[in-house]
Amino acid sequence: MWRLRLVPDNTRIDFMGWRRAAFAFTLVVSVVSITSLGLRGLNLGLDFEGGLVVEARTSAPIDTGALRARLSALKLGDLSLQTFGDDREIMIRVHQLPGDPAAPKRTFQTIRDVLGPAYEIRRTDFIGPEVSGELLADGILASALAIALIAVYVWFRFEWQFGVAALLTTLHDVVATFGLFTVLQLEFDLKVVAAILTIAGYSINDTVVVFDRIRENLRRYKKMDLPVLINLSVNQTLTRTVLTSGTTMLVVLALLFFGGPVLRNFSAALAWGIVVGTYSSVFVASALLLYMPMPGMVEADDTDALPGESTPRAPTGATG
């Protein structure tokens, strides 16, 4: 029976041989992300900044510059305009409106008067500054708790070494996602926070599969060189990793290209997270175990032959 094979059976890729290059790349991504976050900050969306957003459509192409000049002359506040979909749809954002309860309605009416009857109002949203501050704090807290609880779960399911590796790997994935949004200045809102939580769960799912195979092989090949054992485990789970990541990416790319502007940043975060999460599960999480004392590597065993080998493999000592 014919089967689709994206990855050949019994691969022998030396992932641990690339660990120093992987660590260097991970360090660069993390430093760039943290530096960009500190210098440029996040382009916070309406959910976290508060303000008014108006989406409108007209039958003729929009002169964004002329419309911006007309609205700016009214001194409505921090104003931004962006076309989306095509050049006949416009999104107008007014950030951080004053605390006057009548301000949102008054600002909306002013924008509507400037647009005139030629524009069809498609959507309006308003979030006050107090609510936006609470949403930002809750989003940060949810992300931090998710990462911490993931590490605790892995710690209890495996050993503390696996928990530390999972914590560092998940932190890397989240920091890299923040980096994408700070470098490209994509809008960061509640949908992106949901994407980050999804990325954390997705990444740890891949990592746990690899860790589970490593634990099985630790019990079976107790005298095997640890880098060889980790390479074996990663290769044994490689088909599953590629198929899972590939099929998930197909769905996310469909959302990214055909889901419209509302889902674009959410989909971009997920797509980036799948790439980074798969990379970190294969190259980073497992390699971190080489630098920690691992249990179950002392007693002699006569089952240290790799699958397909007829004689046991002699230990050569773990290398760092």
Query: Model confidence over 274-293: pLDDT tens digits?
Result: 999 899 888 998 899 888 77
Least confident of 15-19, 229-233, 292-296: 292-296
CB-neighbour burial class of residue 296 (10 A; exposed 0-12, middle 13-18, buried 19+) = middle
Phi, psi of 61 (to 5 degrees): -55, 140
Rounded to the nearest integer, the mean pLDDT of the chain is 79
- Residues of the chain with pLDDT > 70: what percent? 84
- Please compute the mean of the pLDDT values over residues 149-156 and round it to a whole number: 79
Q: Can you give the pLDDT at residue 274?
A: 92
Predicted TM-score (pTM) of this structure: 0.73
**39, pLDDT greater than 50:** yes
Whether the per-residue pLDDT at 184 is higher than 60: the answer is yes
Which range (1-5, 71-75, 265-269) has the least confidence? 1-5
Q: What integer is the mean pLDDT of 74-82?
A: 76
Q: Which residues contact 116 (CB under 8 A, 6 or more apart)?
A: none
Q: What's the rounded mean pLDDT across residues 130-158?
A: 76
User: Are 204 and 150 spatial neighbours (Cβ–Cβ below 8 Å)?
Assistant: yes
Asked whether the beta carbons of 42 and 188 are under 8 A apart, the reply is yes
> In terms of C-beta density within 10 A (0-12 exposed, 13-18 middle, 19 or more buried), how is residue 4 classed?
exposed
SS3 167: helix
pLDDT tens per residue across span 115-140: 888 888 888 877 765 566 677 777 77
Q: Are 133 and 49 in contact (CB under 8 A)?
A: no
> Among 197, 143, 196, 147, which residue's Cα sits nearest to residue 167?
147
Q: Which residues contact 265 (CB under 8 A, 6 or more apart)?
A: 181, 186, 187, 188, 189, 191, 192, 195
